[in-house]
């Protein structure tokens, strides 16, 4: 297993649109294991392949307290969205920034599992927020894009400064 490098905003590669996985192979499963290890180590509750510079539609998530409920979503499609809720979000690609975002309260999502089998999942609460956040990453969208231009500019400048100071 391996810990992968997570791209940091503002990085143009975070805006690439991920392609569908044609066939779930042993290589896909290896990437998923590395993504899970990277997510748990960070620590985070979700990770999209886009964040590790792999532009394929793969998400891992685990919102359980015991970190024993790994959810893998390949080629996820949000089928239905119901209600609205606001919650504070953070992102491993935007370290140290926490902002309120409005999302659907309940969703249903169809995806493939690690065996390449189709399943559907109903999610609400934090899991629903997390899945919507990850699906956005696959579409090249980072949560800060829901904020005002002023906030986005401030966040971009703050992170660029942090990145300069780390060099």
Task: Say if residues 92 and 134 touch (Cβ distance below 8 Å).
Answer: no
Strand order in the sheet with 106-112: 46-48, 58-61, 71-82, 106-112, 118-124
Nearer to ligand GNR, 40 or 110 (CB): 40
129 binds, among ligand GNR, Ni ion, none (CB under 5 to 8 A by kind): ligand GNR
Beta carbon of residue 122, minimum distance to ligand GNR (angstroms, whole number): 19
Please give the distance of CA 26 from its chain centroid, rounded to a whole number.
22
Residue 31, contacted partner among Ni ion, ligand GNR, none, CB below 5-8 A by kind:
none
CA 109 from centre of chain? 15
Active site residue 134: yes
Please report which helix (H) or strand (E) contains residue 109, including its range. strand 106-112
What is the binding site for ligand GNR (CB under 6 A)?
Answer: 44-48, 51, 89-93, 129-130, 133-134, 137
Question: Taking CB within 5 to 8 Å according to partner kind, which of Ni ion, ligand GNR, none is near residue 18?
Answer: none
Cite the active site residues.
Answer: 134
């Amino acid at each position: 297993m391996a810990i992968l490098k997570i791209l940091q905003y503002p990085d143009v590669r975070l805006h690439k649109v991920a392609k569908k996985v044609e066939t779930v192979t042993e290589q896909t499963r290896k990437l998923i294991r590395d993504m899970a290890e990277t997510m748990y180590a960070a620590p985070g509750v979700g990770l999209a392949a886009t964040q590790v510079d792999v532009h394929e539609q793969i998400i891992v998530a685990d919102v359980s307290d015991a970190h024993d409920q790994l959810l893998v979503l390949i080629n996820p499609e949000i089928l239905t969205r119901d209600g609205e809720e606001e919650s504070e979000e953070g992102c491993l690609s935007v370290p140290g920034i926490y902002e309120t975002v409005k999302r659907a309260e309940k969703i249903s999502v169809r995806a493939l599992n690690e065996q390449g089998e189709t399943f559907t999942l109903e999610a609400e609460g934090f899991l629903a927020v997390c899945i919507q956040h990850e699906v956005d990453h696959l579409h090249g969208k980072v949560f800060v894009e829901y904020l005002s231009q002023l906030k986005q500019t401030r966040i971009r400048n703050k992170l660029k400064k942090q990145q300069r100071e780390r060099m």
